Structure 1
């Protein structure tokens, strides 16, 4: 189990639409990961199951898309992942020991958006 390293990706405009399924396809193509995940594909996610890293289902919390040929964090993707960490859509099944690190990773993107992560709000 592993939290991906913070990539400090560029951030798209806040009003950019988020379509996770379409982003997934573009990220696979951009990363050259059509057959199996690789390190570039991993960078678009916040968490993955390191023991099953060769399976696409091992990757969770996609926050990025390909914009103008570059992997870019999408604010609505970051917010969707933040909401899932708060229990939206049934939450996400992660090891307890990884939850704080996932939240820290996401909080860095919230900060880049001049926003506060939902778990840090009063």
Structure 2
């Protein structure tokens, strides 16, 4: 489950990505289908593990399956969940077309912004900003 300090916006769902995961190298290639497959295998039915790589989960579904999750931002690398910049950029690009409420969209947008800020620090590149801040 995401760990958030009191000053952060709460996750868009009751289970959202762990923003404190380590970062893969910036040039790490990311394939959404493969990442989701690897996450399901890694989580092995554990909903909290699966949720730790997604920014959003639709309430009311089966949290142990990927069907209700959106915006994966991590990959399983050497057996561990790891944030991937290309996944974060993909989530930012897909946000406006996602079938989620405006309130959830606002929260996911905030989380993506946090991840861009973390990436800018992790990769020592202050030019990394979400598309809506350029």
| Fold equivalence (TM over 0.5) | yes
Q: Deviations over 1:51-74 (max 9, x none)?
A: 113442111111111112210111
Q: How far did 1:6 drift?
A: 4.3
The CA distance in 2 between the partners of 1:53 and 1:23, in whole Å, is 19
2:99 is aligned with 1:93: yes
Report the RMSD for the aligned CA atoms in angstroms.
1.7
SS for the counterpart of 1:2 is coil
Unmatched tracts of structure 1, length 5 or more: none
Q: Tell me which moved more, 111-120 or 75-84.
A: 111-120
Where does 1:8-87 land on structure 2 (aligned, <5 Å)?
Answer: 8-33=20-45, 38-54=47-63, 55-85=65-95, 87=96
- Runs of 4 or more, structure 1, over 3 Å off, are none
Higher RCO (C-alpha under 8 Å, 6+ residues apart) = 1
TM-score, reference length from structure 2? 0.77
Query: Contact 2:55 / 2:108 at 8 angstroms: preserved in 1?
Result: yes
2:114 is aligned with 1:108: yes
Q: Deviations over 1:23-50 (max 9, x none)?
A: 11111111112xxx61110111000112
Query: Contact 2:88 / 2:115 at 8 angstroms: preserved in 1?
Result: yes
Change (3 A) 1:71 1:40: same
Unmatched tracts of structure 2, length 5 or more: 1-11, 121-127
The CA distance in 1 between the partners of 2:78 and 2:103, in whole Å, is 36
